[in-house]
Amino acid sequence: MNPIAIGVFIVIALLTLGSGIMVVTVRNIIHSALWLIASFIGVAALYLLMEAEFLAVVQILVYAGAVSILVLFAIMLTRQVTGEGVRVVFERWWVALLIALGLFGVIVPTLWKHGATWEEAAKLAQVGPAPVEGAANSLQVATATEIGRSFMGEYLLPFEVVSVLLLMALIGAVVIAYEERTRRRRVLTLAEELALKKRGIVEPRDAEGAVMPREAEGKVILLDSEQA
Amino acid sequence: MADALTQLGFASWLSVLIASIIKVTLILVGGSVGMMFLTWYERRSISYMQDRRGPNRVGPQGLLQPISEAIKTMTKEDATPRDADKIVHFLAPVVMLGATVLSFAVIPWGRMFPVDLNAAVLFVIATGGLHSIGMMMAGWGSNNKFALLGGMRGVAQLISYEIPQVMAIIPVVLMTGSMSLQKIVEAQNDFAGLGWYVFSPVGLLGFALFFTASLAEGERTPFDIPEADSEIIAGYMTEYSGMKFAVFYLSNYMSNLAVCFITATLYLGGGNGPGVDALGGIAGGLLSLIYFLLKSFALFFVMVLIRATVPRLRVDQLMSFAWKFLLPLVLVNILSASFWVALLRWDQQWPKLTEWFGAPSTADATNWGRLAIAIVLTLLINAGAVALIMRLTNRNVQKHLYTTDEELALGLS
Amino acid sequence: MTLSHLATEDVFVVERNDADFRAGQGMTKGLGIVFRKFRKALFGKPNSDRADTEGQFNVQYPEERLAMPEAYRNMPILLYDDATGHELCTSCFQCERICPPQVIHITQAKDPATGKPVPAAAKFVLEYDTCMSCGYCAEVCPFDAIKMDHDFELSTANHPELDVDYNRLLRPVSYYETIAPTMWSDVKEQAMKKLQNNIKRRPGDIGRDHGQKIKGGAPVAAAATPAAGAAPAAAAKPRGPVAAIGKNMPEDKTAKLLAIRAANAAKRGGGAADAAPVAQAAPVVEAVADAPAAVSAAPTGPVAAIGQNMSEDKRAKLEAIRAAKRAERGE
C-alpha cells in the first residue's frame, strides 16, 4: 500500500470509529442513528479503499440506504426521542464490553491468520485485475462476478441458510399483516356509513367511542350488494 | 487524464489530485447547468401542454430565466425555525445534493467521457437510496408536522420503490453479463447501433417498470406524495428557504436528470445510434453524446407529459401499485430475461452446458431463428404476466373491495 | 341517464367497470390528449376563438395587444378640437359635482380684461390615484369634453405624478375618434355645435392654451387683480339648483358657493337690499385668504376652519374670487 492510501485509510478509519463512538454516547437518539449512518458510510469507504466496489455499493445500498432508515422509522415510533435524562451508561456496561472484546478477539486472529494473503491481495489489486479469470486468488472476492460465483459454489450452504432465514422473516411479516387485515374491516366511505345507518345497522363501539370490529359474527360487515 | 498530467511532469499524486478536481468540477458544473436547462425545459414544455407559453422573456426564449431565479432564490433570507434541530436542518440539503452529485460520477456521456465502475448500476441505485436519509433529516430537523409527514412519506415511498427499481435492472444485467454501464452500452450496439434493449420484450417491460419506479424515486408526479402541495405544503421542504431550498431544488432536478441518463443508458442504448461507429473518433463521440442527450431529454419530456396528465396518487394506491403491480411483473421479467439469455447466449453464459450438449449450431447472437424463438417466448411470458396482473387488479375481479354508487343506491332502497 | 349524448370526440368516457382488460388505456388516451395540446400550442397558429380548447391563446402583451372594446373605460381624459385647438370643456362643474370620490378639481377661466367667467377651465386637476374609473364624469358631461381613455399603463414610482393636470389630460378629438369611433360619431355633431358656441364666448387664447400657460393658481389671481378696475358688470346667470344643493354640500363647496353668490349679489344689486348677505360672506372669504389660521368672527364658522386645510389650488381659487370681489367693490 502506498503512503497516500495508508493516510486515507487512517482518516476514514478514524472517522468511522469516531462516528461509532458518537452513536453510543450521544443522548439524542435520532442523532445517534444519524451517526450510525455516518459510520456505515465510513465502512463503505473502507471497502472502496480495498477496491471492493461491489461490497462498498451494497454496503451503502443496504445499510446506509435501507437499514438505517428502518432504524430511524423505529425510533420515530418510540415516545422519547430527545433522550433528556436518559442514562447512556448502564450498570452492566461491562457485559457489553466483554461481548465486544470477545468479537474483537474472534475477528483479529482471523485477520491475522490471513494477513499474508491479504497483503498479497492488495498487491494484486495494485498490479491490476487477474489476467485470467478463475486463476485469481480465491481470497480476492471483490467483484460481483466473483462474489456470485462463491455464493453459488463454495459458500452455497451458508448462503441458502441465510436465504431461508430471510424467507422466514418475510413469511412471518406476511402472516402478521394478513391477520391484522382480516380482523380489521375496511374503512367505509361516508356514503356507505350513511347507507348502513339508514338501514339501522349500528356499528358496535367501545368505551372510547371507536368502532369495534364485529368479531362475534366472524366476518366483516357486508352490504347487500357485496353479499350477493 | 491523470496519465497525461504525469507526462507533463507533475508528480503522480498531484496529477491524480488535479485530474480528480477537474472531473469533479466538470460534473458539478455540468449537473447544475443541466438542471438549469431542465427547469426551463420543463416549464416551457408544460406550458405548451397547458396552452401557455412559459418563461420566454429573460434571454433568448427565456433561457436565462433559471439564472435570474437562482439569483433571486439565493438572495432570499435563509430562515431556520427556532426549535429546529439546527445541525440536522442544515445538513439535510447537503446530504441530498451530495447523494445526487455522486450518481453523476458513473454516467457515461455518450462515448466522450467513458467512466467505468464495476458496479455502476448498483452505485446509481445506492446513491438514490441516500436521498431517503436527507429527506428524513429534513423532515425531522425542521420541527414541523408537515415536514415530518413529508419526510416519512418520502422515505416510505423511496424504500418501497427501490425494490422494483433494483429488480427491474436485473434483466439488463443478466442480458449483458455485467453491471458496468459501459459494458451495458456496448452490448446494445448490434444492428448498426440500434440493438437497444427496449426493442426486446424483456427490455420493453423492464424499461416501463424501471421508468415508473424511477418516477417514484425522483418524486415526480404522479408520485410526488412527499411534497404534495395541496396536502402537506411542501413536505420535507416546508421549513426551507433561500439557499437551502435552492439546494433541495437543485438536487431534485439533478436526480431527475440522472434518472433520465440512466434509463437512456440501460434501455435506450446510451450513446449508440446509427452512424456512431461509421464516423468513429471524436466525431463519432460527439454524435454519440448528441444521441445520448437527445434520448435523455426525450425521456424527460415523457416525465413532463406524465406530470401534465396524471393526478397524484393516494398513499395507499402508491404502496399497492409498488407491491402488487410492479414487483410481480419485475419478477416475471427476470424469469423471461433468463429464458432470453439461455436461448441466445447459453454457450457464453454456461460453458458446462456446451461441454455436455455441444455448442449450439451458431454462437452468433444475431442468429435469426434463435432470436425469433426468444422474442416469441419472452413476449408470451411478459404479455401473459401483464394480462394476468391487469385482470387480478381489475375492479370487476376485486369487486368485493369496491362499492359503486349504484350498488349503494340499491342497498338503500 | 347516460353520458352518450356527450360522447363526442372531445369527451372521453372511460368505461371503468365494463372492460375486463385495461392496460392503461385511459392513461394512454390522456397522454395522447395532452401531447396533442402540446403540439397544437407549439406549432399551431395563435387561436383567438374562445370556444376552441386547443391552440395558442396567449397574447404576448407588450408586443401584441387585444383590441379594447370601445366602451372600455380606464381614466378620464379631456378633449380638444384638432382644427382650432379649443378645449371642449366649459368648466360647468358637472363632473366635479358627480364625481363619487371627488377627485376632479376645476377652476373656471376668467376674462383677464373684464374678470368675467369664461366658458373654459383655467385649471383642471384630476387625481388618477383615487379615481375609480366609474365613468360618471363622462356620462354627465353636457359638452362631451371629458371621456374615458383606454390607456391603462399608468403605473409610476412617483405617486404625486398621479395628480394629473391639463398637460397630461388633454387629447385631441381625433385620438378619441380612433379609440371609440361609433361612440364619438353619436355625439360628434352636437358636441361640435356646442363647442362653436362656446368659442364665440372665449376671448383671446382662453380655452385654447391646453393648459400650457397656466402653472399654479397665482398668475390667474395676478392677472385678475390689475384688471379689476376696468371690469364692467355683467349679469351672471342665476344658479337656482346650486343654492338648493348648498345644504348638504361639503364645506369647501359651500365656501365657493357663498363667494359666488356674494359676487353675483354685488353685481346685481350694487349695494342694494341684499347687501347684508354680501357683507356677511365677503369678510369670511377675505379672512380666509389673508390669514388662514385666523379664527373668523363670522357666523359661517366652517368656512373659516377650512382655510387651514385647504389645498393650494383651492386657495388660489379663493384668491381669484376675492380679487374679483375687490374689483366689484372698488367700483
B323-369 pLDDT tens trace: 888 888 999 999 998 888 877 766 665 666 666 655 554 445 456 77
> Does pLDDT of A216 surpass 50?
no
The pLDDT value given to residue A228:
39
Q: Where are the domains of chain C?
A: 1-66, 67-215, 220-331
Q: What is the pTM of this model?
A: 0.69
**Which residues, at least 6 apart from B191, have a Cβ–Cβ distance to it below 8 Å?**
B366
**Which residues, at least 6 apart from B162, have a Cβ–Cβ distance to it below 8 Å?**
A65, A66, B125, B128, B129, B213, B217
Higher pLDDT, A119 or C107: C107
Q: Which residue of B has its CA nearest to C60?
A: B53
Residues of B in contact with A60 (CB under 8 A): 126-127, 129-130
Other CB atoms closer than 10 Å to residue B155's CB: what's the count?
A: 24
Q: Which residue of A has its CA nearest to B117?
A: A53
Going by pLDDT thresholds of 50, 70 and 90, the confidence category of residue A167 is very high
Q: Where are the domains of chain B?
A: 1-66, 76-337
**Which chains pack against A, by 3+ Cβ pairs within 8 A?**
B
The pLDDT value given to residue C289:
41
Rounded to a whole number of angstroms, the distance from the CA of B98 to the nearest CA of chain A is 13
Rounded to a whole number of angstroms, the distance from the CA of C31 to the nearest CA of chain B is 6
Cβ–Cβ < 8 Å for B188, B177: no
Rounded to a whole number of angstroms, the distance from the CA of B49 to the nearest CA of chain C is 4
Higher pLDDT, C232 or B61: B61
Residue C139 sits at the vertex; the CA angle it makes with C136 and C144, to the nearest 5 degrees, is 130
Rounded to a whole number of angstroms, the distance from the CA of B305 to the nearest CA of chain A is 30
Among the residue ranges B113-122, B346-355, C210-219, C265-274, the one predicted with the least confidence is C210-219
What does the CA dihedral A141, A147, A152, A156 come to, rounded to 10 degrees? 70
Q: Which residue of C has its CA nearest to B301?
A: C35
3-state secondary structure B296-335: HHHHHHHHHHHHHHCCCCCHHHHHHHHHHHHHHHHHHHHH
Contact A198 B405 (CB under 8 A): no
Rounded to a whole number of angstroms, the distance from the CA of C213 to the nearest CA of chain B is 43
Residues of C in contact with B305 (CB under 8 A): 31, 34-35, 38
> Does pLDDT of A197 surpass 90?
no
Residues of C in contact with B409 (CB under 8 A): none
Using the Cβ of B395 and the Cβ atoms of chain C, whether some distance falls under 8 Å is answered with yes
The pLDDT value given to residue C5:
46
Cβ–Cβ < 8 Å for C191, C199: no
The pLDDT value given to residue C253:
61
What percent of chain C is predicted at pLDDT more than 90?
Answer: 2
Quick one: which of B98, B215, B225 has its CA closest to B152? B225
| ipTM > 0.95 (yes/no) | no
Q: Sheet holding C117-127: strands in order across?
A: C104-110, C117-127, C163-164
Residues of B in contact with A28 (CB under 8 A): 85
C-alpha cell at A17: 470509529
The pLDDT value given to residue A136:
42
Q: What is the DSSP letter of C87?
A: B
**Averaged confidence pLDDT in chain A:** 72
Contact A225 B403 (CB under 8 A): yes
Contact B51 C55 (CB under 8 A): yes
Q: What is the DSSP letter of C74?
A: -
> What SS3 state is found at A50?
coil
Kindly report whether the peptide bond that precedes residue B222 is cis, defined as omega within 30 degrees of 0.
yes
Residues of A in contact with B159 (CB under 8 A): 66, 69-70
> Across residues A187-209, what is the average pLDDT?
63
Q: Which residue of A has its CA nearest to B153?
A: A73
Among the residue ranges A121-125, B349-353, C30-34, C58-62, the one predicted with the least confidence is A121-125
Residues of B in contact with A61 (CB under 8 A): 122, 125-126, 129, 166
Higher pLDDT, B384 or A216: B384
Residues of C in contact with B310 (CB under 8 A): 27, 30
> Does pLDDT of C307 surpass 60?
no
Among the residue ranges A16-25, A88-97, B55-64, C174-183, the one predicted with the least confidence is A88-97
What percent of chain C is predicted at pLDDT more than 70?
Answer: 62
Distance CA B329, CA C258 (A): 94
The alpha carbons of chain B give a radius of gyration, in whole angstroms, of 24
> What SS3 state is found at B185?
helix
B236's enclosing H/E stretch is none
Q: What is the DSSP letter of C201?
A: T
Report DSSP letters for A83-143, one per residue: -TT--SS-TTHHHHHHHHHHHHHHHHHHHHHTHHHHHHHHHHHHH-S-SSTTSS-TT---S
Report DSSP letters for C256-276, one per residue: HHHHHHHHHHHHHHSSSTTHH
Q: How many CB pairs under 8 A join A and B?
A: 95
Using the Cβ of A45 and the Cβ atoms of chain B, whether some distance falls under 8 Å is answered with no
Helix runs in A153-218, H state only: 156-183, 190-198
Contact B403 A189 (CB under 8 A): yes
* Location of C-alpha cell 363619487: C100
- From residue B312, alpha-carbon distances to A54, B159, B198, B270, C311 in Å are 36, 19, 27, 30, 61
Cβ–Cβ < 8 Å for B139, B147: yes
> What SS3 state is found at C99?
coil
Q: Where are the domains of chain A?
A: 3-84+97-147, 153-183, 187-228
End-to-end alpha-carbon separation of chain C, Å? Answer: 93
Contact B155 A69 (CB under 8 A): yes
Contact B310 C30 (CB under 8 A): yes
Distance CA B152, CA A74 (A): 12
C147 beta partners? C77
**Best CATH choice for the domain A3-84+97-147 from the list 1.20.120.1200, 1.10.260.40, 3.40.50.1100, 2.60.40.2580:** 1.20.120.1200
> Does pLDDT of C279 surpass 60?
no
> What SS3 state is found at B107?
coil
Cβ–Cβ < 8 Å for C116, C323: no
Q: Are strands C76-80 and C146-148 parallel, antiparallel or unpaired?
A: antiparallel
Residue C319 sits at the vertex; the CA angle it makes with C316 and C322, to the nearest 5 degrees, is 155
The pLDDT value given to residue C215:
34
Other CB atoms closer than 10 Å to residue A36's CB: what's the count?
A: 22
Distance CA C76, CA C94 (A): 14
B78's enclosing H/E stretch is none
- Name the class of domain C67-215: alpha beta
Residues of chain B with pLDDT under 70: 1-5, 110-115, 345-367, 394-413
Touching, C vs B (3+ Cβ pairs under 8 A): yes
B109 beta partners? B113
Q: Sheet holding C76-80: strands in order across?
A: C146-148, C76-80, C170-172
Higher pLDDT, C210 or B97: B97
> Does pLDDT of C139 surpass 50?
yes
Cβ–Cβ < 8 Å for B161, B322: yes
C-alpha cell at B333: 421479467
C-alpha cell at B407: 350498488
Using the Cβ of B18 and the Cβ atoms of chain C, whether some distance falls under 8 Å is answered with no
